[in-house]
């Protein structure tokens, strides 16, 4: 990820500001405020503003005035209870705003989460940079045979080289044609005075989906955790998962008690159906049970055995 001198100066100026406030601040999150956290080859995530902390969640749940004589372990216990029993509204009392730079195809997947306030860089108004995402070689994989929206074996050798070269050549050619159609430089200067340029809103349609865009994304903590539970999951697409992993670290800094409960009950926990609970009870009772007489479908059975870390070989 490269920053221009102007961008670096803008970030340094923002980080150099100090304000007197009576509002809650979180020192560990303040350490990275405004700083771009690298993702993929040209992307980043920046925390640019936030409201609330773990105490705000507890305060909302108790509808109290202040911390009083409570101890941290009391707050941790309450937050764990709220997370465990899915009492969501107290987590909505905290909000955070990110500045994200990401490939367009990741943005289109991301925007399916309709629970945030979003303002994206406008290619109708401005010219997009010549930056596009190129996957690392270990991310070039075949189509999965078992998952229609997943990846299979990693490509290598001439196959991988051909894919990378094609992606790069297509992106370069399309962006070059984009600039030619605009007949305008990044600074707004006309490239060929004898030719009229195409409107920006039309020229942009020629760009490839790995072109980088940017947006500001503001969301409350409850909906952020839902987003992260889906996008930090091992089954999520690698590129969006890379962003989710960086955002998880910002949540850990911001609301450590909530992050601990989220990790315990959501990221590393599991939801089990009524039928699954029945199977677990029968297994605990020592019953020799197979999928055929479990009442579960083959997929449900495989998922449950995965949760219990029991393969077909070592299951009863």
Number of other CB atoms surrounding residue 292 within 10 Å: 9
Catalytic residue, chosen from 231, 252, 253, 290, is 231
231 catalytic residue (yes or no): yes
Strands 117-120 and 212-220, how do they pair? antiparallel
**DSSP string over the chain:** ----HHHHHHHHHHHH-----SS---HHHHTTTT--EEETTTEEEEEEEEE--HHHHHHHHHT-SS-TT--HHHHHHHHHHHHHTT--GGGGG-EEEEEEEEEHHHHHHHTT--SSEEEE--TTTSPPPS-B----GGG-EEEPSS-TTSEEEEP-HHHHHHHHHHHHHHHHHHHHHHHHHHTB-TTS-BS-TTSPPPPHHHHGGGS-TTBEEEEEEEEEHHHHHHHHHHHSSTTS-HHHHHHHHHHHHHHHHH-HHHHHHHIIIIIS-----HHHHHHHHHHHTT----GGGTS--HHHHHHHHHHTT--TTT--
Contact 118, 214 (CB under 8 A): no
List the catalytic residues: 231
């Amino acid at each position: 990820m490269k920053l221009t001198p102007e961008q670096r100066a803008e970030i340094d100026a923002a980080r150099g500001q100090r304000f007197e406030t009576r509002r809650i601040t979180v020192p560990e999150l303040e350490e990275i405020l405004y700083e771009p956290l690298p993702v993929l080859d040209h992307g980043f995530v920046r925390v640019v503003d936030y409201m609330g902390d773990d105490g705000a969640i507890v305060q909302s749940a108790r509808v109290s005035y202040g911390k009083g004589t409570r101890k941290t372990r009391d707050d941790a216990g309450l937050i764990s209870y709220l997370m465990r029993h899915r009492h969501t509204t107290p987590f909505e009392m905290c909000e955070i705003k990110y500045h994200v730079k990401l490939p367009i195809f990741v943005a289109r997947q991301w925007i399916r989460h309709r629970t945030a306030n979003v303002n994206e860089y406008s290619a109708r108004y401005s010219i997009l940079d010549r930056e596009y995402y190129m996957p690392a070689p270990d991310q070039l994989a075949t189509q999965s045979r078992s998952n229609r929206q997943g990846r299979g074996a990693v490509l290598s050798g001439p196959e991988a080289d051909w894919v990378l070269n094609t992606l790069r050549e297509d992106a370069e050619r399309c962006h070059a044609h984009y600039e030619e159609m605009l007949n305008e430089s990044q600074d707004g200067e006309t490239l060929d005075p004898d030719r009229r340029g195409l409107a920006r809103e039309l020229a942009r349609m020629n760009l490839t989906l790995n072109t980088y865009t940017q947006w500001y994304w503001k969301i409350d903590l409850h909906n952020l955790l839902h987003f992260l539970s889906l996008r930090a999951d091992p089954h999520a697409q690698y590129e969006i998962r890379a962003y989710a992993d960086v955002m998880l670290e910002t949540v850990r800094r911001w609301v450590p008690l909530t992050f601990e409960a989220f990790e315990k009950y959501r990221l590393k926990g599991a939801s089990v159906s009524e039928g699954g609970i029945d199977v677990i009870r029968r297994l605990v009772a020592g019953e020799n049970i197979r999928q055929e007489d479990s009442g579960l479908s083959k997929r449900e059975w495989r998922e449950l055995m995965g949760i219990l870390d029991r393969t077909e070989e070592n299951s009863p």
